[in-house]
Amino acid sequence: MLAKSRWLLSLGFFSLLYFTSPAWAQITAVEGQVTGADGKPVQNAQILITREDMKGTYKGAKTDKKGHYIYNGLPKGKYTISVLVDGQERAKQEHIPTALGDPTPVNFDLKAGGAEAAAAAAETADRSMSKEEREAQEKRSKANAEAIAKNKALNDSFNAGKEALAAKNWDAAIDAFQKGTQIDPNQHVIWANLADAYIGQASTKTGADQQAALDKGLDAYQKAIALKADDPAYHNNYALALARAKKFDDAQAELNKAAALDPPNAGKYYYNLGALLVNSGQTAASEAAFKKAIEANPDYADAQFQYATALSARLTTGADGKVTAPPGLQEALEKYLALAPTGQYADAAKGMLQMIGAKIQTNYSNPNAKPPAKKK
């Protein structure tokens, strides 16, 4: 019996699929013009951006002398955008969806009776306030200013971290994201990016230093998942980090969670699971994982080939020297070639198909051996 086929052995370690979280990795922006009732640009108006589909408030943007504003670094989502002049809301637009690419335009025209009337009303109200009411208003204004400063610092640290992460400057990315977690420890996306930075840093280390970076990355992923347990990308990427730390059982559990949370991409998560199992020497278990991958997506070419390689561990050789394949192996190879006739595994798939049912050489001779002596 063939304990392992040469095709499986030649496969070696293959890469897993890393998923980018859709939360903040898909960065968007809004920009626009604020025009006063007199038709002139409104300078130093504050732009308040509130996310509608999940918790998030962004207050760092102000209009310039031309009345223009722009806010970068928004996660893709749906927002309410308000204009504040002298701390008072003058106008707002709701249910604004952002999109990747160019900034989403959101303009404001403060019609007659808008900004000026509101400002006059605010001035009248201020004169009629008691001392306690004015103190309460000042307290609110101070809190609003602090919130604006906090959100700007958070946005700046996040963007700096993303730039460093893209440049694989792991230390700078870690510093920036750590600063973000100190500003607001409840932002799951910052913890997830901090985890990515630590895992990247671990790839440059060895020994105890590598393990320390891995442990910090795993801890950061746990914090991200605690804040947003329904994000399949977090579970997937956490699983890959667990695999690097050789915690394969935990990694398998996380990939199963990812597949359950994201059925349309279940094939990719099960593929990752199969890869983890192969790379940890668990060939038999990988067979079931790759089978789940092709059941979830029959047109996933690489999963078809990897399923075949896992099955090839059960190839048998009969007394006549013929190789017999287990059920499903030939079908998987043929499906792979139909999907990817020039794919990276095409030659290996063709070789395996040629081997199935053919006789293989069982007797070998040493070409350098001396010929037997002739009988006299």
* Cα distances (Å, whole numbers) of residue 77 to 70, 81, 83, 175: 16, 12, 19, 27
For residue 276, pLDDT over 50 is answered with yes
Q: What CATH number belongs to 28-123? A: 2.60.40.1120
Write the CB contacts of 131 (distance below 8 Å, at least 6 apart in sequence): none
Q: What is the pLDDT of residue 277?
A: 85
* Dihedral over alpha carbons 262, 227, 213, 280 (to 10 degrees): -30
Pick the range with the lowest mean pLDDT from 87-96, 276-285, 359-368. Answer: 359-368
Select the CATH number that applies to the domain covering 6-21+161-355 from these four: 1.25.40.10, 1.10.1200.10, 1.10.3210.10, 2.20.28.90. Answer: 1.25.40.10
**Per-residue pLDDT, 262:** 92
DSSP 121: H
Calculate the average pLDDT of the chain: 81
Query: Where residue 117 falls among pLDDT bands split at 50, 70, 90?
Result: very low
Fold agreement between 6-21+161-355 and 28-123: no
Which of 15-19, 151-155, 181-185 is the most confident on average?
181-185
Model confidence at 371, in pLDDT bands (50, 70, 90)? low
> Is 0.85 topped by the overall pTM?
no
Tell me the pLDDT band of 358, cut-offs 50, 70 and 90. low
Break the chain into its structural domains and give their ranges: 6-21+161-355, 28-123
**Angle separating helix axes 232-244 and 188-202, nearest 10 degrees:** 20
> pLDDT tens for residues 1-31?
333 333 333 333 345 555 554 433 456 789 9
